[in-house]
């Protein structure tokens, strides 16, 4: 099929002007005395970052690079915008990369140049930055899976490998469950926390019991954002959608805490990279709609996923399940644990991340590449 290029539109000047005006009006907020980053975002770092955002950062430079990616549109029920990087060999395996929150397709910028021998598709998931608008605003993970399956079929691929992290893992799991004839293999970085929160098996090993304890501790100490986004998303969306400083605080804290940064987020992201990830949410007005997979999360009414699954596990991810727990829900064929890396592994450790993709391509059912 002939595909028409479909880059995201350039941000109107008045939106960027309004953003700078808001940043210049930023006011510090009185809080109780606490150590740096002890109770969330560090006020001094945030103030410094806001100053840089207001006076030095140039979104248009980064936007131009993003718009030059090979964007297309596909899909019938929901029209999706996707990056479609084609291999020289049209018969090469198709690999679908699924991002999560609070990121976007930008999670995969560093792996795209490493996968030129494959047909790579990166959907901008509806409700997230760079996505085409849909009537619903956002979608649950299972409906996102339906939308992705429809769009990939519209591109002409009837079988593919999926690589995913975070919310993308929930979408990937739903795709493999509901479209098993299309999903040849999975590559995942994490097991959905749903599996230790709902319907927990009773015959857990000691390692699994420790994982569940760690998971509940993480939920109690780090999961506040998830509860708010799941239960009262419109409340927090009103605050974050009206205040770029608030939006930056909400996202920045996660980019620091969830990466293997040793406490210095700028070892993982330059200031421009941080602000590009954050500004993408602001200029597309997508923070509120990006909460939909949390607010509309539901049961996973399927059995063990049969698609061959490769896991790459990084030490600073949120909560890492042991292999025996993952194997309850997935047909685990390869399990690699790395000494460095965090939640945004495709960005933090792209060379290691693509080893998981290569493993999944090698292990795919119905063929090899």
Angle ∠(180,184,190) on CA atoms, nearest 5: 90
Beta carbons within 10 angstroms of residue 293's beta carbon: 27
Two tokens at 149? 């399956």
Rounded mean pLDDT of 191-200?
A: 94
User: What is the C-alpha to C-alpha distance for residues 270 and 147, in angstroms, rounded to an integer?
Assistant: 33
- What CATH number does residue 40 fall under? 3.40.50.1820
Task: For residues 282 and 143, give the distance between their C-alpha atoms in angstroms, rounded to a whole number.
Answer: 24
Q: How far apart are CA 148 and CA 95, in angstroms?
A: 12
Taking the C-alpha atoms of residue 179 and residue 190, their distance in angstroms, rounded to an integer, is 20
Residue with tokens 């395996």: 93
- 38-54: per-residue pLDDT in tens? 999 999 999 999 999 99
Residue 13: inside a domain, yes or no? Answer: no
pLDDT in tens, 308-334: 999 999 999 999 999 999 999 999 999
**Distances 288 to 170, 228, 336 between C-alpha atoms, Å:** 19, 12, 35
Asked if the structure places residue 1 within a domain, the reply is no
19 close to 243: Cβ distance less than 8 angstroms: no
Cβ contact 176:162 at 8 Å: yes
109 occurs within a structural domain: yes
Report the catalytic residues: 166, 294, 343
Q: How many domains does the chain have?
A: 1
* Mean pLDDT for all residues in the chain: 97
Q: Is residue 12 part of a domain?
A: no
The answer to the question of residue 7 being in a domain is no
Q: Residue 243 above 90 pLDDT? A: yes
Asked if the structure places residue 5 within a domain, the reply is no
Domain range for 214 is 19-364
Please report the pLDDT score of residue 365 as a whole number: 76
Inform me whether the pLDDT recorded for 344 exceeds 80. Answer: yes
* Structure token digits, residue 56: 């030095």
Residue 74 is assigned to a structural domain of this protein: yes
pLDDT (mean) for 241-259: 99
Kindly list the distances between the CA atom of residue 305 and the CA atoms of 194, 215, 330, in Å, as whole numbers in the listed order: 15, 22, 5
Q: How many CA atoms lie within 13 A of 344 on its CB side?
A: 26
214 located within any domain: yes
Determine the average pLDDT of the residues in 106-135.
99
């Amino acid at each position: 099929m002939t595909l028409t290029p479909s880059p995201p539109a350039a941000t109107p000047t008045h939106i960027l002007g309004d953003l700078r005006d808001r940043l210049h009006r930023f006011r510090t907020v009185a809080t109780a005395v606490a150590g740096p980053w002890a109770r969330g975002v560090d006020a001094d770092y945030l103030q410094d970052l806001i100053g840089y955002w207001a006076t030095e950062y140039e979104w248009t430079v980064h936007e131009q690079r993003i718009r030059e990616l090979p964007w297309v549109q596909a899909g019938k029920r929901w029209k999706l915008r996707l990056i479609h990087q084609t291999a020289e060999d049209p018969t090469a395996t198709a690999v679908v990369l699924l991002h999560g929150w609070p990121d976007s397709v930008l999670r995969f910028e560093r792996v795209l140049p490493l996968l030129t021998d494959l047909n790579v598709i990166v959907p901008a998931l509806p409700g997230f930055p760079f996505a085409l608008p849909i009537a619903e605003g956002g979608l649950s993970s299972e409906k996102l899976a339906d939308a992705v399956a429809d769009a990939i079929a519209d591109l002409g691929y009837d079988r593919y490998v999926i690589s995913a992290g975070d919310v993308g893992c929930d979408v990937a799991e739903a795709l493999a469950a509901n479209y098993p004839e299309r999903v040849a293999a999975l590559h995942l970085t994490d097991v959905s926390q749903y599996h230790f929160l709902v319907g927990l098996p009773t015959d857990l090993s000691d390692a699994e019991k420790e994982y569940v304890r760690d998971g509940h501790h993480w939920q109690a100490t780090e999961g506040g954002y998830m509860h708010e986004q799941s239960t009262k998303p419109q409340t927090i969306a009103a605050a974050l959608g009206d205040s770029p400083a608030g939006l930056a605080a909400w996202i920045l804290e996660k980019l620091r805490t969830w990466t293997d940064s040793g406490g210095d987020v700028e070892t993982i992201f330059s200031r421009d990279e941080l602000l590009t990830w954050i500004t993408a949410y602001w200029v597309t007005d997508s923070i509120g709609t990006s909460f939909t997979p949390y607010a509309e999360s539901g049961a996973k009414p399927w059995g063990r996923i049969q698609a061959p699954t490769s896991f790459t596990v990084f030490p600073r991810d949120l909560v890492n399940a042991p292999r025996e727990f993952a194997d309850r829900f997935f047909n685990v064929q390869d399990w690699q644990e790395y000494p460095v890396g965090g939640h945004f592994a495709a960005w933090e450790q792209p060379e290691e991340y693509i080893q998981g993709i290569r493993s999944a391509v090698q292990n795919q059912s119905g063929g090899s590449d």
